[in-house]
Amino acid sequence: MAKPKKKGGPKQKLSPIARRKKAIRDKKFAMTAQRKAKKAEAQRKRREQPAQSKGKDWDHKNQRWETPKQNRSNDGQGTKKESGKKYKVK
């Protein structure tokens, strides 16, 4: 019998020091003005369209709802191409 799949995908195997440093970096990035604006826009869209947003993420580049799988890493093209780009946030 196959093992049940873990929820959330594979975890990074980090040392305790690296884990703390990564948490600090992630928090600093999440609290930037641009990230806060994107999170706020996604929440507004989710409240406006609860049925359409179910199980989907708001794509700030294409301005539409996409599956989480489709919305990662520049639609499968990698993140280097879109690094540093500014998307319209209402």
Q: How many CB atoms lie within 10 A of CB 2?
A: 4
Cα first-last separation, the chain: 49
Show me where the domains of the chain are located: 16-73
Q: For 50-69, how does the pLDDT look when each residue is reduced to its tens digit (9 = 90+)?
A: 999 999 998 888 888 998 88
Q: For 5-41, how does the pLDDT look when each residue is reduced to its tens digit (9 = 90+)?
A: 666 666 789 999 999 999 999 999 999 998 999 899 9
How far apart CA 28 and CA 24 sit, in angstroms, is: 6
How far apart CA 14 and CA 27 sit, in angstroms, is: 17
